[in-house]
Amino acid sequence: MSDKSMHIHVHHVTRVEGHGNIDVVVDNDVIKKIEWQVPEAPRFFEAMVVGRDYMDLAPITSRICGICSIGHTFASLKATEAAMGITLSEQDTRLREILLHGETLQSHVLHAGYLAVPDYFRVNSVVPLVGTHKEAVLLIIKLHRLANELCDIIGGRTTHPIRTTVGGWTMLPTEKELVTLKKRYEEAVEDLKAVAGVVLSVAGKIPNFTRETEYISLTSPSEYAFYDGMIKSSDVKAPIPVSNYRTVVNEYVNPQSTAKWTKFNRESYAASALARYNNNYAQLSPLSKTVASMFGLGAAACHNPYMNTVAQVVESVYAVERTIANIDWILDKGLKYVKPDIKVKAGKGASAVEVPRGILFHEYEYDKNGKCLMANCVIPTNQNHGNIQKDFEKLVPEFKHVGKEELQFMLEMLVRAYDPCISCSTH
C-alpha cells in the first residue's frame, strides 16, 4: 500500500477483558471505514434470572463479571431492596461502601498497572517492566493484594462475595480485622503516591487528543458518589432519579456489535472514572485533588479519553481515604449485627452503582412470592462502546498522517484507556 493507503485490522485488542476488533481502511488518503467491533457471544443473564427466587439474583448476576462482581452484587441487591421497600442501616451501608471501594482499588490497580501503563513505556505487557521498574511493579502487586485481602475479609472471599445479602449482611468482620485493615490502608497511601509518581514520569507519552462528549455518572451533594446517588449528565443541570434511568441509557442495537450501545443527549456518552471525575471533582478528598493536580487536572472538565487511566489513579487515592474514614465511623459507633428484616412482596425497582468502568444499572420486577418477572442490566462498557466509536472517528482523520503502525498503536491504546469489560457488555 502507498503511504496514503492503509488497512488496520486488530483481531482482537490485547490487554482488555473480552474480544474487541478495530477495523480501519484508508484508500489514497480517503477514509473508507472506521469501526470498533464487538464480536463476543451474548450470555443472556437477564433471561437466566427470570423465574428465579429473589435471593438467587445477586449470586447469579455477580457472575456477569469476575472483575466487577462486587459492584454487580450491590446493584442487584439494591434493585431487589428498592422493589420490596427494604432499607439498610448506616453501618451496613458503610460496610457495603468499604467492600465496593475494595473492588475499586482492585480493578484500578489491575488496569493501570498491568494493562494500560505498559503503553506509556511502549512495551507489550507488564513483564518487561519487572526488569526496568521492579519497585513500581512490586508496589502494584502489593496494592492489588491489599485490595484482595479487604474484599476477602469484608465479603467472605475475594470475588463473588458471600456475606452480603438482601437487607444487609450474613456475617460482619470483627473490630480487630477493621483495625488491622485501617492500619494497612493508611500505609498504602504512601504506596499510591509512589505509583502516581511513576505514572507521572511517563505521562508525557499520553496522546494529545481531545473530543468533547457527554459524561454520565452518579452524583451526590455530600460525597464523591459510588454506592448511591442520582444520575448526573454533564449536559443537563438537574440530576435524574435512578428510577428514570431508561430515559438516560436509551439502549439500541448496532450491527457492528453483539453488545447494545447507548445514547442520551448526543450520539454517545462516556461512563468511566473520567466521567465521575468531571462530574464530581468538588467531592474528591484533598489528597486525591493534589494527585490530580500533579497531572494538570483540576475542576475544569478533561476531554482527553486517554486520561481515564490517570482518573483511575486519582480515584484509587480517594477509595483508600474513604475506606479509612468509613472504618473510623464504624469503630467509633461500635459494630452491631442486625439480622435482615425481609417482607417479600410484589414490586419493581431499579438501582445504580458506580463500578470501576462507570455507572451500572440493574432493574427487576417481582411477583408476590418474590419470583423474578423481568430483569434489565445496563453495563458501563455498553455505555462506552458508542463513545469509543466516536473517538475513533475523530482520531483517525487527525492522526492518519503518523502512519499505520503508530495509528494502530494509538487506537489500541485508546480502547485500553477505557478499561472495557467487553464480555460483561454482551452479558
Locus of grid cell 513483564: 127
* Residue 173 cell numbers, joined: 468482620
Q: Which residues does 240 contact at the CB level (< 8 Å), separation at least 6? A: 230, 231, 232, 233, 247, 248
Largest distance between two CA atoms of the chain: 71
Binding residues for Fe cation, as ranges, are: 68, 424
Long-range pairs, 392-395, Cβ under 8 A, ≥24: 392/22, 392/24, 392/34, 392/35, 392/36, 393/34, 394/209, 394/211, 395/209, 395/211
Q: Which of 389, 384, 395 is nearest to 208 (CA)?
A: 395
Round to whole Å and give the CA distance between 324 and 281: 20
Which strand (E) or helix (H) includes residue 377? strand 372-378
**DSSP letters spanning 199-214:** HHHTGGGS-------E
Round to whole Å and give the CA distance between 322 and 317: 9
What is the three-class DSSP state of 165?
strand
Which strand (E) or helix (H) includes residue 128? helix 127-132
Binding residues for Ni(2+), as ranges, are: 65, 68, 421
* Residue 221 cell numbers, joined: 451533594
* Residue 278 cell numbers, joined: 468531571
DSSP lists the bridge partners of residue 377 as 362
Q: Which of 163, 157, 152 is nearest to 58 (CA)?
A: 163
Which CA distances in Å does 29 have to 2, 393, 400? 9, 15, 8
Binding residues for Mg(2+), as ranges, are: 46, 427
Strand order in the sheet with 347-355: 347-355, 358-366, 372-378
**DSSP letters spanning 319-359:** HHHHHHHHHHHHHHH-------------EEEEEEEEETTEE
* Residue 349 cell numbers, joined: 425497582
CB-CB contact of 245 with 358 (8 Å): no
Binding residues, as ranges, are: 46, 65, 68, 421, 424, 427
Dihedral angle of Cα 10, 16, 20, 21, to the nearest 10 degrees: -10
Round to whole Å and give the CA distance between 300 and 297: 7
